[in-house]
Structure 1
Amino acid sequence: MALILTKELHSPLTLLLLVSYSCIGLVQVGPIAVQAQGPLFTDSRWIVDGAGRRVKLACVNWPSHLQPMLAEGLSKQPADVIMKKIKSMGFNCVRFTWPLELVTNGSLASRTVNQSFQGLGLSQALAGIAANNSWAPDLTLIDAFKWSDGNGFFGDKFFDPNLWVNGLIKMARLATSFPNVIGMSLRNELRGPRSNVDDWYKYMQQGAEAVHTTNPNVLVILSGLNYDTDLSFLQNRSIHVSFARKLVFEVHWYSFSDGRRWTAGNLNDLCGNISSRVMARAGFLARKNLSPLFLSEFGVDGRGTNAGDNRYLPCILAMAATEDWDFAIWALQGSYYLREGVMDMEEFYGLLDDNWSNVRNLTLLTRLSSLQIPYRGLPLKRMHMILFHPQTGLCVTNGPPTRSLRLSSCRAAQAWMYGPQRFLQAEGTKSFLQAVGPQKPPRLAPSSTSQWDMVSNSGLHLSAKAMDGSTVCLDVDGKGLLITNACKCLQGDKSCDPTSQWFGLVQSNTV
């Protein structure tokens, strides 16, 4: 978990989510579509402010839980520069990790940053911290934190539940001084052979009550079993706490959460099957309006060389957009002070490069920016559809200069009406999307002759019978213009890439 002292920064944080790795927290760094009023609450599946307006969390993960116990990157850039960079990338909050022993081990907490880094042989990193953040080296670890295994399940050798609750209470109390701390995650990635549902309910309820009693303003965020991939037990058994409108559940989903499956089959089948499993294990909470679901960790290798990640990414983008989940990307950091015994280890899943100065992959950031948009606002009235293209993170628009149907920012997406008759009608007009034929752009016509069906297991191919009698799918050409082509990769072929033809129907009343 971590706290940020906003008084030290030129671009103050507003929302901080605190996460415990042995626990995690949220800090807002930018606009959140509306100016949130007071503490945050839940309203069925939504996170809302005191006025009942939806607040969508679009976060980055920023670790401080590793051995040095200091927010990563302070040896590379000044803290306010990092904060401004987070905001410039379009994110509005930070999910900040913290080690439990920081608040339960007095001698450790009183150690200075200088002493900690010298003891780990991190003299070069310490020099960088002194140069970029001169206020930090002489602070104790706990004060620096305010600025900014056998340990997998309750009762494990290094996981004392009583110590854990005590740590949660201390951090929740510390967070009362900082109104930008809006949530606390009780525990990151529960796992291991001792994992069981009964103990999950026992200790999660105990931890939630402890946090809320100490700091009733924060959201209380609960993780699931099996590295936070499984909350399915909540379908049959509710969690009972004495307070209301503060519980949020979180889930993690990486390509490696499914082993090597992403490289081993037809991508339409893989996306459909794995998405269905994620929905059964966690997504049902939001879809059934039971609780907000926070996709608190997902990410890909920013170098673009991981085949599994490359196939997984458009699938998770499609699901996160269509479900309109709150999220936190793993991760911000381009490097670590010390990880797995390696000094200055580079993090290829980081949004920033190893010097924390530039975005590692601008194309990836563009795709992620589509998730930052709150597609649905409260109240849920005047809903329409937009066509989201997960391969690019863009949406279908119908704008100047040519009035052609093309891909552009989802903030300028064309609104469509799509109902049981399966016609796509441009909202506010009498024009319908009509398929002409292969390798030809669809057109807007006054008659509704094309019925658009989802035809693949991924649920992302929009297919219709064209005017020439052929069956085609929506596609995109090399210039970002909408065309139609023969549907590809619907089944069988394991190497075929269907993603140029993937379009998610996203419900919206804000775009």
Structure 2
Amino acid sequence: MQYDTLTTKGTKPSSSRKTITYDMKISHFSSVLFLLFCSNVVLHEFVAIVGAMPLYANSRWIVNGEGKRVKLACVNWPSHLETLLAQGLDKKPVTEIAKTIVLNGFNCVRFTWPVALATNDSLASTLVENHFRSLGLNGAIAGLRANNPIFLRLPIIRAFQIIVKILGNNNVMVILDNHLSKPGWCCQQTDGNGFFGDEYFDPELWLRGLTNMATMFKDTKNVVGMSLRNELRGPNANIDIWHKFMHEGAEAVHSANPKVLVILSGLEFDNNLDFLRQQPIEVSFTGKLVFEVHRYASSMGNAWEIGNPNVVCGNFMNNLMGSAGFLLEQGFPLFLSEFGGDQRGINVNDNRFLNCMFGVIADLDLDWALWALQGSYYLRQGIVDMEEVFGVLNKDWSGIRNSSFMQKLHAIQPPFQGPGCQEMSPYNIMFHPSSGLCVQKKSIRHPVELGPCSKSNAWIYSQQARTIMLKGTYSCLQAVGVGQPVKLGVDCTCSTSKWEIISDSRMHLSTKLPDGEIVCLDHSGSNGVIVTNPCKCISGEINCEPASQWFKVITSTRRIVL
């Protein structure tokens, strides 16, 4: 991830238990377990589907051995910094962290590692306690002794392996991500880790590291993919050199472990894969190639804060499709392996970006990995116990940082469509990104309102007729007036039943009232009722906030649960 020098990304758990094997008790986590496969399956079905490994690329989808879609809904858990140990083991027992990952709806972890861990035998064999002591982390050692004492006596590489195993014991898939070569924080343009041939980035050593890591986990069922390199960047970046070494890296990983997905990143901090339009990469194998892309608010500077949110969101979507999304159309899976923002909710740039990003993820039904799990780091950029405000967990790992953010995330964890998801003929869901809820009509007595997307009604939006019909009925969505709740009616020819998707964000649904005023669907507030109000931020205004009126019309074929 690209950050300014001291903006944050990361977190770690905490607890007073003495061993890594114990009966788990979680009192602070109440999130519903969202199962990330087609259908709203119960837990034993979830385990069975995870068990149908390995994974494959089937056109733009990732599928299991039975040909059913497996949507990657991952969280990043870093192990690439100087400590070389997954963050948070000084805060909570590792099994509790693993269960917390599952309870919050994630089905996989993007687990980061540096080349040095897989190639420097002296470093890899160092005991965790000795390594932490050499870094002056006596406080973290005390926390490890309280929560995960066995790790202090393990070689660093063995600790890495055990964490992967514990994730597997909890039915969590793992994607091994080579984040950099020299352990530390990532990433800067000139940090010596950016591109092949840079000061710390020896391509031959990197290839050896990939081979070693692929070999090490070739019989580990829950290791389903390997990402070859995080955020290639810097003044030495070159397309021809990218092709040479990414081809060699892909072949090395596949030769050592043909079961795993081989995941390739682009250039410019993994913001750009556009060069593949003219010069596709060639590999000797099929059914395993996946591409990855990253996006943060900072990808567009401070445009989200100073620009018109609709215009910026539209530009963002166009840029994403032009630089990476085209690969979906070419028949490759595209993995959004990093996105995120300040979960305290105080950063306007991040807030607006995330509302747009959630809409894009839902619309494209992308596989993704959130940055990040950790609420803090043992050591980052010289700062001990640094907080990670992008983290799902709070600083002491005792609970969720922002439950509203998690509600939004839960909405995009299950798949909307794909192989094995054809449980209904295609229909539409009206997704409200800023709340993570969807438009529904529970009964005649209830208003049209927001509710869990898992219980959304099936709608049919016709761009030609400009109607929003309740699937299987003659009823359509109608406006009543400014500030008034919308309703279902049977006169679908009147102007108040005609809806157009407007604005650059493609997330405003507008209609015309009898007096000629143009209004848009709007979320009225805490009661969740859907109303119509004058459309926001349509005319290029800057100091405006359209999020309450952003509704993404997405296509789904999954079963509706009433």
TM range (shorter): over 0.9
Which residue of 1 is the match for residue 235 of structure 2? 193
CA, structure 1 residues 350+401, in 2 after alignment: closer, same or farther (shift >3 Å)? Answer: farther
**CA shift for structure 1 position 488:** 1.5
**CA shift for structure 1 position 253:** 0.3
* Letter of the structure 1 residue corresponding to residue 69 of structure 2: R
Question: What percentage of residue pairs aligned between the two structures are identical?
Answer: 50
Alignment check: 8 A CA contact 2:434 2:547 kept: yes
In 2, the alpha carbon distance for the partners of 1:435 and 1:86 equals: 42
Segment of structure 1 superposing worse, 336-345 or 300-309: 300-309
CA, structure 1 residues 249+425, in 2 after alignment: closer, same or farther (shift >3 Å)? Answer: same
User: 1:327 is paired with a residue of what secondary structure?
Assistant: strand
Q: Deviations over 1:242-296 (max 9, x none)?
A: 100101111110001111111111111011011111110011212x152111111
**CA shift for structure 1 position 9:** 6.3
Query: Which of the numbers 431, 434, 456 marks the counterpart of 2:478?
Result: 434
- Is 1:423–2:467 an aligned residue pair? yes
**CA shift for structure 1 position 429:** 0.9
- Is 1:333–2:374 an aligned residue pair? yes
Query: Which of the numbers 247, 250, 267 marks the counterpart of 1:208?
Result: 250
Which residue of 1 is the match for residue 547 of structure 2? 499
Which residue of 1 is the match for residue 211 of structure 2? 169
- Is 1:484–2:532 an aligned residue pair? yes
Q: Deviations over 1:352-391 (max 9, x none)?
A: 0111110011111111111102011325751111000011
TM-score normalized by the length of structure 2? 0.84
* Letter of the structure 2 residue corresponding to residue 496 of structure 1: C
- Is 1:297–2:338 an aligned residue pair? yes
Alignment check: 8 A CA contact 1:221 1:247 kept: yes
In 1, the alpha carbon distance for the partners of 2:147 and 2:95 equals: 10
User: 2:542 is paired with a residue of what secondary structure?
Assistant: coil
Query: Which of the numbers 486, 508, 520 marks the counterpart of 1:461?
Result: 508
Which residue of 1 is the match for residue 454 of structure 2? 411
**CA shift for structure 1 position 491:** 2.3
User: 2:159 is paired with a residue of what secondary structure?
Assistant: helix
Segment of structure 1 superposing worse, 250-259 or 434-443: 434-443
Which residue of 1 is the match for residue 415 of structure 2? 374
Q: Deviations over 1:462-504 (max 9, x none)?
A: 0112345432111111111011111111022111001111100
Query: Which of the numbers 522, 537, 557 marks the counterpart of 1:475?
Result: 522
CA, structure 1 residues 451+43, in 2 after alignment: closer, same or farther (shift >3 Å)? Answer: same
Segment of structure 1 superposing worse, 305-314 or 395-404: 395-404
In 1, the alpha carbon distance for the partners of 2:430 and 2:451 equals: 11
Q: Deviations over 1:94-145 (max 9, x none)?
A: 1100111011111111111011000000011011111111210010011111
Which residue of 2 is the match for residue 316 of structure 1? 357
CA, structure 1 residues 241+416, in 2 after alignment: closer, same or farther (shift >3 Å)? Answer: same
User: 1:136 is paired with a residue of what secondary structure?
Assistant: helix
* CA root-mean-square deviation: 1.7
CA, structure 1 residues 10+384, in 2 after alignment: closer, same or farther (shift >3 Å)? Answer: farther
- Is 1:260–2:302 an aligned residue pair? yes
In 2, the alpha carbon distance for the partners of 1:349 and 1:146 equals: 26
Q: Gapped runs of 5+ residues in structure 1?
A: 1-7, 13-28
Query: Which of the numbers 263, 285, 289 marks the counterpart of 1:243?
Result: 285
* Letter of the structure 1 residue corresponding to residue 266 of structure 2: G
Q: Deviations over 1:374-416 (max 9, x none)?
A: 0113257511110000111110011158332100110011111
In 1, the alpha carbon distance for the partners of 2:346 and 2:513 equals: 37
Q: Gapped runs of 5+ residues in structure 2?
A: 1-19, 25-32, 38-45, 164-190
- Is 1:392–2:435 an aligned residue pair? yes
Which residue of 1 is the match for residue 54 of structure 2? 39
In 2, the alpha carbon distance for the partners of 1:145 and 1:489 equals: 49
User: 2:411 is paired with a residue of what secondary structure?
Assistant: helix
Q: Deviations over 1:283-321 (max 9, x none)?
A: 1212x1521111111111111111211111100011011
Alignment check: 8 A CA contact 2:36 2:414 kept: no
Which residue of 1 is the match for residue 17 of structure 2? none
- Is 1:178–2:220 an aligned residue pair? yes
- Is 1:224–2:228 an aligned residue pair? no
User: 1:492 is paired with a residue of what secondary structure?
Assistant: coil
Alignment check: 8 A CA contact 1:473 1:486 kept: yes
- Is 1:78–2:89 an aligned residue pair? no
In 1, the alpha carbon distance for the partners of 2:35 and 2:413 equals: 11
- Is 1:508–2:519 an aligned residue pair? no
Segment of structure 1 superposing worse, 202-211 or 402-411: 402-411
Alignment check: 8 A CA contact 2:55 2:259 kept: yes
CA, structure 1 residues 353+312, in 2 after alignment: closer, same or farther (shift >3 Å)? Answer: same
- Is 1:445–2:492 an aligned residue pair? no
CA, structure 1 residues 88+10, in 2 after alignment: closer, same or farther (shift >3 Å)? Answer: farther
In 2, the alpha carbon distance for the partners of 1:285 and 1:324 equals: 14
Structure 1 residue ranges, 4+ long, deviating more than 4 angstroms after superposition? 8-12
Segment of structure 1 superposing worse, 335-344 or 232-241: 232-241
Query: Which of the numbers 92, 103, 116 marks the counterpart of 1:101?
Result: 116
User: 2:555 is paired with a residue of what secondary structure?
Assistant: strand
User: 2:76 is paired with a residue of what secondary structure?
Assistant: strand
In 1, the alpha carbon distance for the partners of 2:85 and 2:354 equals: 30
* Letter of the structure 2 residue corresponding to residue 495 of structure 1: N
Which residue of 2 is the match for residue 23 of structure 1? none
CA, structure 1 residues 38+226, in 2 after alignment: closer, same or farther (shift >3 Å)? Answer: same
Alignment check: 8 A CA contact 2:73 2:367 kept: yes
Which residue of 1 is the match for residue 348 of structure 2? 307
CA, structure 1 residues 169+11, in 2 after alignment: closer, same or farther (shift >3 Å)? Answer: farther
Q: Deviations over 1:188-218 (max 9, x none)?
A: 0000011111111111111000000110110
User: 1:372 is paired with a residue of what secondary structure?
Assistant: coil
Alignment check: 8 A CA contact 2:194 2:231 kept: yes
Alignment check: 8 A CA contact 1:271 1:312 kept: yes
Alignment check: 8 A CA contact 1:30 1:93 kept: no
Alignment check: 8 A CA contact 1:436 1:468 kept: no
Which residue of 1 is the match for residue 319 of structure 2? 277
In 1, the alpha carbon distance for the partners of 2:21 and 2:274 equals: 41
In 2, the alpha carbon distance for the partners of 1:290 and 1:46 equals: 8
Written as runs of structure 1 = structure 2, the 5 A alignment for 1:56-67 is: 56-67=71-82
TM-score normalized by the length of structure 1? 0.93
Alignment check: 8 A CA contact 1:269 1:491 kept: no
In 2, the alpha carbon distance for the partners of 1:201 and 1:105 equals: 26
In 2, the alpha carbon distance for the partners of 1:372 and 1:230 equals: 25
In 1, the alpha carbon distance for the partners of 2:134 and 2:207 equals: 29
